[in-house]
């Protein structure tokens, strides 16, 4: 335990790594309670999961470079969070730590004022990452708390952290006053609550309160069949090469060294390049046929902390064998979309022509790395991405920013209906990718899509009384119907959306809606709306028992 009479005035790399560990453990322990702070009364809260997985990625990468300086630890954490970011809250969290890393870059250690300056940088980076910042969110919590704690920047880390925590608690408590949807739902902002938990962990570490770090999420390694690359196989796809290189004082002048000398070489030696410098550590991802040349060149400037080289021809053959596909030639346009449920995945692939379907949706937002892995599988010059969820759009855009092997165009589809119609409108013969992007964005914005889901709590929203255990029908964030029975709620939703004025209604049945129940719904709706054609498909999606796409 920390001796309260001994104050800490120096933030080192070792202490910051402990802060990351305890921050991750705190939010891991409370992730479900953060998930439950969902403004919408349906079981789709995943903010706690997204923020937990994001900081886990940062801590995991930072923990690989033990003994490093403060700036190096902060930089590694930032890089890890960039690739592991999930959902809007995870992306914003990654930008908070990116700003913090910028403020700590090049420092072996710092005092409380230096950390306060890094927090100011974190606020600027977070606000800059959002096109239209909304107050009453995690952005407000980090800004107001940093402003409130600024008067303690000349004191000990304990004093500053205590002031920062008080500021976060106060700001979080008042988020419903700044954002009406929070007040209506009777909750505080979930992203702000997640940030507060992380900083509770930071405070624990500063006070010397440490415990076992939460176990990481298990990820199954994919087995590779080495027989697919024999003595006569041609190396077509090169090697996926990744490493962390620490620049060495014995080889370079760290104060004046320009990392672009390394970056320009790597850009000329391969593709799919991701390149970051954080302090004295350089992170590289590149696809190349000559990894040895790159390794030899980079070793002129430093030494490797981690190094991974994988045969992409072997990976490619193994992936194609597993998925029953043949390698594709590089085409002009490709499509990547997001869906959960076997039926939906088949619809997007077989009916709408998606090259890759990233597994995800409500409660299971994919990461930046998940998108990049999908992009790597699409042999196209231009990749169009359909996130199909408002909480995944930012993640897709962050992935697009760091991907170098193709031009990536993110169509901001905020629900499955928008993604379905936009993909159905895709014109592979279009001459201009930018014009196609604009057209698809306009198409997606005009789609009418309604959903039916179980209700997760009692509330009154948009004048509709919702009861836990019943069902809720909504369009966007507007509740239009509720009831004790799934089909009755669905019929009321169709009426509220004026289905009678639409020629076609596509019905996607969820995992919990039986075929018999869905058939009965379509029959009753067909009688009620004789001029409207109802087309049913079993999507198998979680959370949403029915998805209605009105055309």
Q: Which residues of 54-73 are buried (b: 16+ CB within 10 A; e: fewer)?
A: bbbbbbbbbbebeebbbbbb
Nearest to 266 by CA among 297, 244, 230, 310: 297
pLDDT of residue 357: 94
Q: So what's the pLDDT on residue 228?
A: 62
Q: Could you please report the per-residue DSSP string of 91-105? A: HHHHHHHHHHHHHHT
Q: What's the CA gap between 345 and 360, in Å, rounded?
A: 10
Q: pLDDT under 70 in the chain at which residues?
A: 1-6, 40-45, 66, 211-229, 237, 272, 274, 276, 278, 313-329, 363
pLDDT reported for residue 510 = 92
Query: To which residue do tokens 């933030």 refer?
Result: 11
Provide the CATH number for the domain around residue 364. Answer: 3.40.50.510
Does 225 fall in a domain?
Answer: no
Helix residue ranges per DSSP H, 284-367 = 291-298, 312-323, 342-346
User: 3-class SS at 275?
Assistant: strand
Shared domain check, 114 and 33: yes
pLDDT at position 358: 93
| 137 phi/psi in degrees, rounded to 5 | -120, -170
pLDDT for res 187? 87
| Percent residues over pLDDT 90 in the chain | 60
Residue with tokens 């993604």: 419
Question: Has residue 326 been placed in a domain?
Answer: no
Predicted local confidence at residue 137, as pLDDT: 94
Residue 182, C-beta contacts closer than 8 angstroms, at least 6 positions apart: 39, 136, 175, 176, 188, 189
Q: How far apart are CA 476 and CA 268, in angstroms?
A: 46
Which backbone phi and psi does 287 adopt, to 5 degrees? Answer: -100, 120
pLDDT of residue 307: 84
* Secondary-structure breakdown of the chain: helix, strand, coil percentages, each rounded to the nearest 5: 50, 20, 35
CB atoms within 10 A of CB 549: 23
Distances (CA, A) of 8 to 11, 150, 153, 155: 8, 17, 13, 9
Domain boundary among 445, 463, 478: 445
Tokens 């900083």 appear where?
199
What values do phi and psi take at 319, rounded to 5? -65, -45
Do β-strands 380-386 and 407-410 pair in parallel, antiparallel, or remain unpaired? parallel
Pick from 331, 333, 329: which is nearest to 436 by CA?
A: 333
Contact criterion met (CB below 8 Å) for 196 and 34: no
Locate tokens 């790159």: which residue? 294
Residues 291 and 154 in one domain: no
Query: Is residue 16 located within the same domain as residue 103?
Result: yes
Q: What is the pLDDT of residue 313?
A: 64
Q: Which residue range(s) make up the domain with 152?
A: 11-206
- Rounded Cα gap, residues 208 and 14, in angstroms: 12
| Nearest of 355, 359, 379 to residue 369 by alpha carbon | 359
Q: Are residues 298 and 357 in the same domain?
A: no
Number of domains in the chain: 4
CA quadruple 208, 8, 60, 90: dihedral sign: positive
Look up the CATH number of the domain holding residue 103.
1.25.40.340
Q: Give yes or no: residues 25 and 105 share one domain.
A: yes
Q: Do 52 and 180 fall within a single domain?
A: yes
Alpha-carbon gap, residue 190 to 34, rounded angstroms: 6
Q: Tell me: do 404 and 475 sit in the same domain.
A: no
In a domain, 230, yes or no: no
């Amino acid at each position: 335990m920390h001796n309260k009479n001994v104050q800490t005035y120096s933030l080192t790399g070792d202490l910051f790594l402990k802060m990351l560990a305890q921050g991750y453990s705190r939010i891991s322990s409370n992730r479900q309670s953060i998930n439950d702070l969902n403004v919408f009364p349906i079981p789709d809260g995943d903010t706690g999961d997204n923020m937990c997985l994001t900081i886990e990625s940062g801590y995991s990468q930072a923990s690989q470079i033990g003994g490093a300086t403060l700036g190096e630890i902060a930089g590694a954490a930032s890089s890890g969070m960039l690739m592991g970011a999930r959902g809007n809250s995870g992306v914003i969290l990654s930008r908070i730590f990116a700003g913090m890393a910028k403020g700590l870059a090049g420092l072996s250690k710092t005092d409380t004022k230096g950390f306060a300056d890094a927090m100011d940088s974190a606020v600027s980076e977070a606000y800059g990452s959002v096109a239209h910042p909304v107050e009453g969110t995690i952005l407000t919590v980090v800004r107001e708390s940093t402003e409130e704690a600024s008067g303690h920047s000349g004191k000990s880390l304990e004093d500053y952290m205590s002031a920062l925590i008080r500021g976060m608690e106060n700001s979080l408590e008042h988020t419903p006053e700044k954002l009406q949807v929070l007040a209506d739902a009777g909750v505080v902002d979930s992203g702000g609550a997640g940030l507060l938990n992380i900083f509770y962990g930071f405070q624990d570490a500063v006070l010397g309160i440490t415990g076992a770090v939460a176990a990481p999420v298990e990820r199954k390694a994919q087995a590779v069949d080495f027989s697919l690359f024999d003595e006569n196989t041609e190396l077509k796809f090169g090697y996926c090469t990744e490493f962390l290189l620490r620049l060495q004082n014995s080889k370079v002048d760290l104060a004046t060294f320009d990392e672009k000398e390394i970056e320009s070489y790597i850009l000329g030696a391969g593709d799919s390049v991701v390149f970051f410098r954080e302090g004295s550590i350089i992170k590289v991802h590149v696809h190349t046929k000559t990894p040895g040349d790159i390794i030899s060149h980079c070793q002129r400037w430093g030494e490797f902390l981690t190094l991974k080289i994988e045969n992409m021809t072997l990976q490619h053959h193994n992936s194609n064998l597993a998925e029953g596909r043949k390698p594709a030639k590089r085409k002009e346009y490709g499509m990547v979309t997001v869906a959960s449920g076997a039926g939906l995945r088949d619809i997007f692939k077989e009916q709408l022509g998606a090259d890759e379907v990233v597994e995800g949706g409500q409660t299971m937002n994919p990461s930046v790395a998940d998108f990049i892995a999908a992009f790597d599988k699409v042999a196209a010059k231009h990749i169009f991405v359909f996130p199909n969820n408002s909480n995944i759009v930012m993640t897709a855009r962050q992935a697009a920013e760091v991907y170098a092997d193709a031009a990536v165009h993110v169509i901001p589809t905020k629900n499955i209906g928008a993604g379905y119609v936009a993909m159905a409108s895709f014109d592979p013969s279009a001459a201009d990718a930018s014009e196609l992007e604009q057209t698809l964005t306009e198409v997606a914005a005009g789609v009418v899509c309604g959903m039916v889901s179980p209700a997760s709590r009692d509330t009154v929203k948009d004048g509709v009384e919702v009861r836990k255990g019943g069902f809720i029908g909504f369009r966007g964030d507007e509740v239009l119907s509720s009831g004790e029975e799934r089909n009755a709620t669905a019929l009321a939703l169709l009426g509220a959306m004026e289905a009678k004025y639409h020629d076609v209604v596509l019905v996607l049945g969820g995992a919990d809606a039986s075929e018999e129940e869905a058939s009965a719904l379509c029959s009753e709706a067909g009688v009620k709306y004789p001029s409207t054609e109802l087309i049913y498909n079993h999507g198998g999606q979680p959370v949403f028992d029915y998805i209605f796409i009105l055309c």
